[in-house]
Structure 1
Amino acid sequence: MCGIVFSAHWPRDADVSDNRHAAVLNELVQRLQTANTARGPDAQQTRRISVGDAELGFFASELRLRGDEPVVQPHVHAESGDIFCWNGEVFEGLNGVDLHENDGVKLFAAIVGIGDVLQLPDLLATVEGPYAFVYYHHISRRVFFARDPLGRRSLLIHRPSAGNPYFLLTSVSAGPHVGYDLSEVDTECIHMLDVQHLDMHDPVGKFAGCLHRLPRLSSAMASVDAPFAAPATINRTLPSSDPEPPMLESLDSIPSHLSSAVDSLFAHLDQSVSQQVCNIPPVLPRSGSRAARVAVLFSGGIDSTMLAFLAHRHAPLDEPIDLLNVAFENPRKIRVQLEGNVGGMTKKEKKTRARKEAAGETVEGSYDHDYLVPDRVTGLREVEELRRLCPGRLWNFVEIDVPYSESQGARSAVESLMWPRHTIMDLSLAMALYFASRGVGQFRSDPDAEPEAFTSHARVLLNGLGSDELLGGYGRHRTAYNTGGWQAVIDELQLEIDRIPTRNLGRDDRMIAAHGKETRHPFLALGVVRFLAELPVHHKLDPRLGVGVGDKTLLRLAARKVGLVEASARKKRAMQFGSHSARMENGVDRGSGGLDISEMTACA
């Protein structure tokens, strides 16, 4: 994980307005560099060059997770003069990245060596992993920048405007600011800025004509030779209607037509997790025998539990794995528990409470009931299942309890990090990720033991995001079937893949990286995406079945087959509701997507 700040401006001598713009830019760049340093605490460096009338600034910070030798960015090629800022991981491609190699160094060498710089998209189409980068090609005076096809790493862009006539790229914002108008860099192409043809007298007017979009796959390259140019498209073959696909009788019995798909899903996920947890450098500083290299954002649901189980298969057995479980003190929820729902409970809420009481969803021991949120309850249950299935592994179940006062005290920092995203839903999810990834909490040796203060030092965090989109885990997939049959489900699953790059990954990356940690998404490895996209729709889910069986059916069967019995039957629950990070105060409009912008004042 690294932080990138790139700036380009066109100074004009003895121009009062330009001096003012330069002062704003310099102050803003300093703030952006500070914010990006948190992403890469191991090393930081700045490089500035002049290209005709333009002044270019490159800043990169480094979180060292690959190779034996310390690396300081930006990478500079002494002979060509090319400059490369890399924020990513190469898990496949480049003929493999050796245990002792740094992937950024190896990729930069491959880029410099391709000859024709316009073949850069073809090279990147053979590389799998999350990334964002800025590359300056000295001979052509061009700047190339992009995110990976799924947008798993953040990169924000400010285009020159009349009020702010300079160009910016940054991994993370400094919050609302009068000096920029940021948006996410789109993932559909490789972007190329022709610096030498920008006019210092009219950088705003000339900018659009100098910013070009290069296709991720050239016409000269076959898609089979470019497996990572773009996410795969959904198999649009409809299930037979005469007869209908057979319905699953029980998760305990895998139908013959799904047996191969279950095994293949497990193999693809297993390979993805292996690529993402092996060869992580040792934790520094070590925290006794409980220092883990890898952690899982852990709710006890099927996605995070499957990732924890697979991480166990590949992480050294003598090292623990941290399970980060976050719970918020939510005054509104606590008030309802103590006083009942003022104004009366709905029928749905009454049924939910009765079901929970009937299921005995309580946890024995000395737990603070203000933090026995749904994800804490399922997390505590699921860690016991993992301990039974994975003898010899030390699981650090980290209780991350967030008092209301602490969450409100961090709100301005969270809003700054998630910017330019700014809805109430963004805030709820960002809060949960911010505190979970920080990893500051407590640990118990058993449920009745007194908690001990604990901080996770793991720099790699596994995240289960992507399984619902790929395997049909949302209620809208069932709704689609009820309104339009299997064809509507196929259409909805294609929309899910199409929307992944524009949804939450950039925001999530900014939140987690703020603690000098890196999130990895095994379900979103492009090989896993391709495998699941190409499966017939009825091999992945069955909306005819009940919730907890018909959604993500294939993953549930795989989990049950390896012994994750409890996890395989758990129903979907969104992070913000499972952790109680959502709707902490009364009076918040449930349907509102907008945050009160007056509370996020732009800095002068």
Structure 2
Amino acid sequence: MCGILLHYCSNNDLLENDLIEFPEGTELGPTTCVNESSIFNKIIPYIAARGPNYSSLRTVRAYRTSWFSSVLSLREPFTKQSINVDDRYYLQFNGELYNKEVSHWGNDSLYIASLLKDLEDDGSVIDVIKSLEGEYAYTVYDVKSAKFYFGRDPIGRRSLSYSVTANNELYVASVTGAVECFHDCIGGTVYEYDTQTKSLHDNQRLRPPYEVTPKLDMEFVSLSIVSKNLYSVLRESVKKRIESIHPAHIENSPIAVLFSGGIDCSVIAALVCEVLQENSYKCGKPTIELLNVSFENPRTGLLPSDTPDRKLSINSARIIQKLYPEIDIKLVEIDVPYEEYLKFRPSVIDLMYSKQTEMDLSIAIAFFFASRGKGFLTLPHGERKPYQRHGIVLLSGLGADELYGGYHKFANKAPHELVEELTKQINNIYERNLNRDDKVIAHNGVEVRYPFLDEYVIKFSTVEIPINYKVNKLILRKVASQYLKLDGISEEPKRAIQFGAKSAKMTKDSNKHGTDLLNRN
């Protein structure tokens, strides 16, 4: 996982060609860069936080471009960014690829660099991007054509924004803070900026929109085989998201799961346990951290220990621990006092920009504290001890509601209405959720991965599952109970994180609605 920041300015002579490297632990502020842009300099600390292992600033006067990159290293060999590919291409890459050929090169960035290097003169950068399988964002500069390419994967699982100013400056960044005039990249769109014509094109798509099948199986004839096949594709999705991490990380740093205790994250946690059980790691007993966040809420009077998600997570963790005694499963109870909420509220509002509603804040701040991972373990005799998350790869159950009809508002819809709603939900998830969530989670120097949003899982779920199997997540509950033995969890009702963790409506001002714009003070 990496942070991306690029600035091109046709009217600005950079001071000199340079590559400045900042080792792990370097404090980077807004005066780090030799670039004269105050916007570029302001964004640098946000980018540096995403990749705590390494940062660099590259400036190339001939192309009037500056690249600032940061790296969170998860695969060997360690690869510095940005990458100069034979003086023809300059590459920044943020994310994880699951193409089988990646293993030959060791990591994603070197694999993409090899594809660019092997392009014939008439080859297309866009064709290279279309061949990638995974969750990612990128920038590529082609020296020969004098064009920049940038964008997000087909689902939009990594955040990326851009700005083209009135004087034809181009900015591209993983996160910007509350800097105006940036636009979130559309998931699956390849953006092409031509420095000769000063024009931006966004008419290239990596895939067509997903279409949810309207087919029905009112007799549930296929329920058994469909649930078995869904279990298989989900298991494979979790497996490749674990096995693509360099083994040393798994042996020395646990896999973490964002854990409310509900069915979505419990399915992910159980599948992680299955995958770890079938692999023999030198470290002995593998560890999983279940990260549960709960807030002190003055409006309700509830303490973190009283929230619905805390109670549910304790029960669900016990069920999973009994099912997988070979795995060291730690429930990390992350308590957020109201004073702590107030302290970090301005920072989270800044990070999640351009999202600006009360609902966005209540979700974003829950993910921020969960990924921060500063909590407690409850020992066998009831005492609690402080515990800091060690895992740097976090798995999330996001996407299950959009694929399997988990939202309450879907419960009484006619089949054709449910088809329309779910089609809209999965195709817009990059805008509704992913851009915001990646910004706040990655700020804590971790990477989040989404097994339900694997492209094969989405394709199977939209094409092969009858629409009536998606009422109240029937199909996922079937997988949970029949194949993962999560009977005590599979019947739990859906509860949004902001209500389960009590991060919504934190004050006694009960007139606020989720769609209300934030008071930034």
TM-score normalized with structure 1 length: 0.78
Structure 2 CA distance for partners of 1:216 and 1:571, relative to 1, 3 Å? same
For 2:150, the equivalent position in structure 1 comes to 145
For 1:525, the equivalent position in structure 2 comes to 454
Structure 2 CA distance for partners of 1:311 and 1:536, relative to 1, 3 Å? closer
Shift of 1:121: 2.9
For 2:178, the equivalent position in structure 1 comes to 176
Shift of 1:61: 0.5
Structure 2 distance, partners of 1:391, 1:425, is 38
Structure 2 distance, partners of 1:512, 1:299, is 16
* Residue 509 (structure 1) aligned with residue 438 (structure 2): yes
* Residue 72 (structure 1) aligned with residue 80 (structure 2): yes
Shift of 1:572: 0.3
- Give the AA of the match of 2:200: L
Does the Cα contact within 8 Å between 2:319 and 2:486 map onto a contact in 1?
yes
Q: Which residue among 465, 475, 481 is the counterpart of 1:554?
A: 475
Structure 2 CA distance for partners of 1:236 and 1:124, relative to 1, 3 Å? farther
Task: Name whichever structure is richer in strand by fraction.
Answer: 2
For 2:115, the equivalent position in structure 1 comes to 110
> Does 41-50 or 379-388 show the bigger shift?
41-50
Shift of 1:70: 1.8
Does the Cα contact within 8 Å between 2:358 and 2:513 map onto a contact in 1?
no
Does the Cα contact within 8 Å between 1:323 and 1:398 map onto a contact in 2?
yes
Q: Which residue among 218, 221, 227 is the counterpart of 1:262?
A: 227
* Residue 197 (structure 1) aligned with residue 197 (structure 2): yes
For 1:204, the equivalent position in structure 2 comes to none
Structure 1 distance, partners of 2:510, 2:450, is 32
* Residue 571 (structure 1) aligned with residue 493 (structure 2): yes
Structure 2 distance, partners of 1:588, 1:117, is 61
Structure 2 distance, partners of 1:50, 1:330, is 53
Structure 1 distance, partners of 2:519, 2:124, is 43
Does the Cα contact within 8 Å between 1:539 and 1:554 map onto a contact in 2?
no
Q: Which residue among 502, 508, 512 is the counterpart of 1:586?
A: 508
* Residue 375 (structure 1) aligned with residue 309 (structure 2): yes
Structure 1 distance, partners of 2:131, 2:468, is 28
* Residue 216 (structure 1) aligned with residue 183 (structure 2): no
Structure 2 CA distance for partners of 1:47 and 1:271, relative to 1, 3 Å? same
| Partner SS for 1:504 | helix
* Residue 236 (structure 1) aligned with residue 157 (structure 2): no
Does the Cα contact within 8 Å between 2:161 and 2:184 map onto a contact in 1?
yes
Structure 2 CA distance for partners of 1:495 and 1:556, relative to 1, 3 Å? same
- Give the AA of the match of 1:568: S
For 1:57, the equivalent position in structure 2 comes to 66
Structure 2 distance, partners of 1:452, 1:580, is 23
Structure 2 CA distance for partners of 1:440 and 1:475, relative to 1, 3 Å? same
Shift of 1:283: 6.9
- Give the AA of the match of 1:451: R
Which aligned pairs between 1:324-473 and structure 2 lie closer than 5 A? 324-334=291-301, 369-446=303-380, 448-473=381-406
Structure 2 distance, partners of 1:598, 1:23, is 32
- Give the AA of the match of 2:212: I
Identity rate, percent: 32
Does the Cα contact within 8 Å between 1:400 and 1:435 map onto a contact in 2?
yes
Structure 2 CA distance for partners of 1:371 and 1:183, relative to 1, 3 Å? farther
Moved over 4 A (4+): 22-25
Shift of 1:564: 0.3
Structure 1 distance, partners of 2:194, 2:64, is 13
For 2:24, the equivalent position in structure 1 comes to none
Structure 2 distance, partners of 1:134, 1:45, is 15
TM-score normalized with structure 2 length: 0.90
| Partner SS for 2:503 | coil
- Give the AA of the match of 1:44: S
Which aligned pairs between 1:468-487 and structure 2 lie closer than 5 A? 468-481=401-414, 486-487=415-416
For 2:271, the equivalent position in structure 1 comes to 310
Shift of 1:26: 2.7
1:376-425, Cα deviation, whole Å (9 max, x unpaired): 00000011100111122111100100100011001111111111111111
Q: Which runs of 5+ in 1 are unaligned?
A: 14-21, 199-209, 218-228, 247-254, 338-368, 543-550, 600-604
Structure 2 CA distance for partners of 1:235 and 1:117, relative to 1, 3 Å? farther
Structure 1 distance, partners of 2:514, 2:455, is 34
For 1:223, the equivalent position in structure 2 comes to none
Aligned residues: 495
Structure 1 distance, partners of 2:345, 2:427, is 31
Structure 2 distance, partners of 1:494, 1:120, is 30
For 1:45, the equivalent position in structure 2 comes to 56
Structure 2 distance, partners of 1:272, 1:191, is 28
1:333-382, Cα deviation, whole Å (9 max, x unpaired): 10xx6xxxxxxxxxxxxxxxxxxxxxxxxxxxxxxx55321000000001
Structure 2 distance, partners of 1:326, 1:570, is 18
Shift of 1:60: 0.8
Q: Which runs of 5+ in 2 are unaligned?
A: 14-32
Structure 2 CA distance for partners of 1:90 and 1:321, relative to 1, 3 Å? same
Does the Cα contact within 8 Å between 1:295 and 1:460 map onto a contact in 2?
yes
Structure 1 distance, partners of 2:4, 2:399, is 26
Which aligned pairs between 1:6-45 and structure 2 lie closer than 5 A? 6-11=6-11, 26-45=37-56
Structure 2 CA distance for partners of 1:50 and 1:117, relative to 1, 3 Å? farther
| Partner SS for 2:428 | helix
| Partner SS for 1:111 | helix
1:137-167, Cα deviation, whole Å (9 max, x unpaired): 01111100010111100001112136xx622
For 2:162, the equivalent position in structure 1 comes to 157
Does the Cα contact within 8 Å between 2:35 and 2:66 map onto a contact in 1?
no
| Partner SS for 2:56 | strand
| Partner SS for 1:541 | helix
1:105-136, Cα deviation, whole Å (9 max, x unpaired): 11121123222576333333332211110000
For 2:136, the equivalent position in structure 1 comes to 131
- Give the AA of the match of 1:508: D
Structure 1 distance, partners of 2:143, 2:104, is 31
For 2:170, the equivalent position in structure 1 comes to 167
1:552-597, Cα deviation, whole Å (9 max, x unpaired): 1011011101210111101100001100111100114343523345
Structure 2 distance, partners of 1:167, 1:257, is 52
For 2:30, the equivalent position in structure 1 comes to none
* Residue 540 (structure 1) aligned with residue 469 (structure 2): yes
Does the Cα contact within 8 Å between 1:81 and 1:138 map onto a contact in 2?
yes
Shift of 1:510: 0.6
Q: What is the RMSD of the two structures over their aligned residues, measured on CA atoms?
A: 2.3
For 2:102, the equivalent position in structure 1 comes to 97
Does the Cα contact within 8 Å between 2:234 and 2:451 map onto a contact in 1?
yes
Shift of 1:489: 1.5
- Give the AA of the match of 1:389: L
| Partner SS for 2:264 | helix
Structure 1 distance, partners of 2:205, 2:53, is 32
Shift of 1:189: 2.2
Name the larger-Rg structure: 1
Structure 2 distance, partners of 1:457, 1:187, is 30
Does the Cα contact within 8 Å between 1:322 and 1:396 map onto a contact in 2?
yes
Structure 2 distance, partners of 1:415, 1:24, is 27
| Partner SS for 1:150 | coil
Shift of 1:440: 0.7
